Amino acid sequence: MIPDHCELVVVGASVAAEALVARLRELGHGGDILVVDRDPRMPYERPPLSKLYLTRPEDTDITVEWDANTPVMAAEAVSLQTSEKRLELRANGASETQFVRYDTLVIATGATPIRLPIEPDGVLRLRTADDSAKIRSAAQSGCRVGIIGAGAIGAELATSLRQNGAEVVLMDKADRPLERLLVGHLAADVTSWLQAVGIDCRWGVDIQRIAGSPGDWTVVLGDGSVLAFDALVSAVGARPITEWLSESGLLTEGQLLCNAYGNVITEAGAVEGIYGIGDVVTRQLPSGERVRTESWTAAAEHGSRLADLLMSRPMLEPEISYFWTDVAGRKVQVLGSLHRDGAIEVEFENPARGAIVYRVTGSDGSEGWIGVNAQPKIAMLRMAREKGTP
Ligand SMILES: Cc1cc2nc3c(=O)[nH]c(=O)nc-3n(C[C@H](O)[C@H](O)[C@H](O)COP(=O)(O)OP(=O)(O)OC[C@H]3O[C@@H](n4cnc5c(N)ncnc54)[C@H](O)[C@@H]3O)c2cc1C
């Protein structure tokens, strides 16, 4: 049952919320915490959804160790009235909404896949466990599958579906894969890994039109060529889930802006008692630059740092940014920031294990690393950076 009042209310029950709740409990927070999520299956882990869970769900555990004293209520946040400190919720299956008053509100509603304007209904997208199951059943062995977008999720999907025996065409309008993650580095390597497992890579494609329906899709490209698919998946990125905040006065140019502490900021300054964590947040840096991350590690860090703040603990220095992805049988890890025009050199190599670490040094002094099958070395680099040792 939705209570009339709860001291701390968290909207969204994914990795950012899990890290927040776990750290609060670890620090001795004994009060009630109301956590709501509109996905009745939450909490679960998302990274396996495009990897092993997609092909072998029976061998993949996506459950999360969630604090037993903090149940997750299946309910959707529909609006927020900050002046009265109340949140409007609709419990799943209910027709009426109810209000809960909060002292502190944490917004952790994450992101949702972007839909291209030319995408008809029936094109699949991946964010939830249900989406993963739908893709699994639509893209069985022998099917011809088109994937639009060769970012981390598109490349992982292509790898998994190909492993499962589907014929996969991976398309991107960029002229290389993993453009946002690797900012142009290792493009030829990644392309050759994908091709070596039998994925048909089409970069620099301009999709003009998509017609058909599930089981019979036609994709028309700018050069006039026509591709036919049984299943079509769009993986062109994600956008923050902020619609429910549209009347709240919290959004700045449509974004949920937060300062380094996770406190929501508007033109009037920091909003007392309202915080944002995870993929939904756009961080406003002291330089004025706005940054949004979509990473498991960053979301978890937002949650645990906010717990420290709420429990008046000293805040630790932010962690060095980190992302991993599994592409064509390789673990690719990115640590720090990769400069697009940075000089790339091999820092470590173990050919026997197919492991290699590249260092990317930017002209602005930035430093980043790309590891391929080099988990122990990247773990050491990550620990060293976090301790501040060069
Ligand atoms: C398929 C896939 C693979 C990934 N692989 C990797 C990887 O390999 N490495 C990596 O670093 N990251 C990966 N990520 C990204 C990572 O999972 C996300 O960065 C992370 O899940 C963000 O966590 P979050 O807590 O901010 O929000 P989310 O995980 O997006 O969860 C937000 C929750 O809020 C709920 N919600 C939204 N709106 C409402 C509302 N109005 N009311 C109630 N509930 C609401 C949603 O149902 C959802 O459960 C992957 C993501 C996906 C989708």
Both 145 and 105 in one domain: the answer is: no
Q: Environment class of residue 194 by beta-carbon count within 10 Å: exposed (0-12), middle (13-18) or buried (19+)?
A: buried
Please compute the mean of the pLDDT values over residues 64-81 and round it to a whole number: 95
How would residue 388 be classed by pLDDT, with cut points 50, 70 and 90?
low
Q: For residue range 294-315, what is the model confidence (pLDDT) as tens digits?
A: 999 999 999 999 999 999 998 8
Both 192 and 217 in one domain: the answer is: yes
Q: Which atom of ligand 1 is nearest to the CA of 298?
A: 19
Both 214 and 126 in one domain: the answer is: yes
Whether 49 is in the pocket of ligand 1, judged by its Cβ within 6 Å, is yes
pLDDT at residue 1 in the model = 85
49 has a pLDDT exceeding 70 = yes
387 has a pLDDT exceeding 80 = no
Both 85 and 123 in one domain: the answer is: no
Q: For residue range 98-137, what is the model confidence (pLDDT) as tens digits?
A: 999 999 999 999 999 999 999 999 999 999 999 999 999 9
Please compute the mean of the pLDDT values over residues 197-222 and round it to a whole number: 97
Decide if 42 contacts 310 (C-beta within 8 A). Answer: no
Q: For residue range 346-386, what is the model confidence (pLDDT) as tens digits?
A: 999 999 999 999 999 999 999 999 999 999 999 999 988 87
Both 9 and 98 in one domain: the answer is: yes
Both 247 and 228 in one domain: the answer is: no
Both 48 and 27 in one domain: the answer is: yes
Both 223 and 243 in one domain: the answer is: no
pLDDT at residue 136 in the model = 96
The best mutation among 38, 54, 239, 277 to test binding of ligand 1, ranked by most ligand atoms within 8 Å of the C-beta, falls on 38
Flag whether 352 is in a domain. Answer: yes
Whether 14 is in the pocket of ligand 1, judged by its Cβ within 6 Å, is yes
Question: What one-character-per-residue DSSP string does 126-188 give?
Answer: -SSHHHHHHHHHHS-TT-EEEEE--SHHHHHHHHHHHHTT-EEEEEESSSSSSHHHHTTTTHH
343 has a pLDDT exceeding 80 = yes
Please compute the mean of the pLDDT values over residues 86-95 and round it to a whole number: 96
Please compute the mean of the pLDDT values over residues 27-35 and round it to a whole number: 96
pLDDT at residue 349 in the model = 96
Q: Which atom of ligand 1 is nearest to the CA of 295?
A: 19
Among protein residues, the one whose CA lies closest to atom 33 of ligand 1: 12
390 has a pLDDT exceeding 70 = no
- Domain containing 354 equals 329-387
* Å from CA of 276 to ligand 1 middle: 14
Is residue 43 reached through a cis peptide bond, with omega within 30 degrees of 0 on the bond before it?
yes
The best mutation among 279, 280, 291 to test binding of ligand 1, ranked by most ligand atoms within 8 Å of the C-beta, falls on 279
Both 120 and 212 in one domain: the answer is: yes
* Å from CA of 46 to ligand 1 middle: 6
Flag whether 320 is in a domain. Answer: no
Flag whether 317 is in a domain. Answer: no
Both 231 and 270 in one domain: the answer is: no
Both 104 and 166 in one domain: the answer is: no
State percent of the chain over pLDDT 90: 92
Whether 110 is in the pocket of ligand 1, judged by its Cβ within 6 Å, is yes
Both 149 and 75 in one domain: the answer is: no
